[in-house]
Amino acid sequence: MPMGPPIVPGLFAAMGFMAVIAILIALVIAGFFLMLGAKLAGIEDVTLGKSMIAVVGGGILALLIGWIPIIGWILGILVYIWVIKTVFNTDWGKATIAWLMTIVVETIVMFAFMVLLGISVALF
Nearest one of 79, 73, 76, 72 to 95, comparing CA atoms: 79
More confident residue, 15 or 7: 15
> Torsion angle of alpha carbons 109, 113, 114, 116, nearest 10°?
140
- pLDDT at residue 3 in the model: 62
CB atoms inside a 10 Å sphere around CB 32: 16
Angle at 52 between CA 24 and CA 79, to 5 degrees: 120
Helix axes 8-40, 92-117, angle to 10 degrees: 120
**DSSP letters for 88-102:** HT--HHHHHHHHHHH
Q: Is the pLDDT of residue 124 over 70?
A: no
CA distance 89 to 123: 40
Residues 69-111: pLDDT tens digits? 889 999 999 999 999 999 999 999 999 999 999 999 999 998 8
Residues 14-49: pLDDT tens digits? 778 888 899 999 999 999 999 999 999 999 999 999
Question: Is the Cα dihedral 47, 51, 57, 61 positive or negative?
Answer: positive
Q: Give pTM, 2 decimals.
A: 0.82
CA distance 124 to 119: 9
Across the range 46-54, mean pLDDT stands at 95
